[in-house]
């Protein structure tokens, strides 16, 4: 599907379609959170994948990076990779490895 045939902006219909896809993905995230899943690891994995897909859609289409220079896309991809790595590392540290507990925060 080509939104920019001649370099012009996509039609409002195209952006509404992307918005509907984002709403469906958000509903899937909410369902994944509330539906009991046997494996906590599977639940976190599903949520990470869905949020990554939403990130790509928002950055690619609403921020027009799909049609911009590749260096701009690289900046956002690097941020996404770093975020996924950090969340995954913290998940492994506090959920998978036995004997570790997350830090306790005191009120302000």
pLDDT in tens, 46-59: 888 898 899 888 88
pLDDT at 5: 47
Stated pTM of the model: 0.62
- Per-residue model confidence as pLDDT tens digits over 74-89: 888 888 889 888 888 8
Q: Which of 49, 22, 46, 48 is nearest to 32 (CA)?
A: 46
Sign of CA dihedral 37, 39, 40, 45: negative
Task: Name the least confident of 53-57, 59-63, 99-103.
Answer: 99-103
């Amino acid at each position: 599907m080509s939104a920019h045939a001649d370099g012009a902006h996509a039609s409002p219909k195209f952006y509404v379609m992307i918005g509907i896809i984002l709403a469906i993905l958000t509903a899937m995230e909410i369902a994944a959170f509330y539906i009991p899943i046997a494996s906590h690891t599977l639940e976190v994995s599903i949520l990470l994948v869905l949020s990554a897909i939403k990130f790509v859609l928002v950055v690619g289409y609403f921020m027009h990076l799909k049609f911009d220079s590749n260096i701009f896309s690289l900046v956002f991809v690097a941020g996404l990779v770093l975020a996924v790595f950090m969340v995954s590392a913290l998940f492994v540290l506090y959920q998978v490895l036995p004997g570790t507990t997350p830090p306790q925060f005191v009120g302000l």
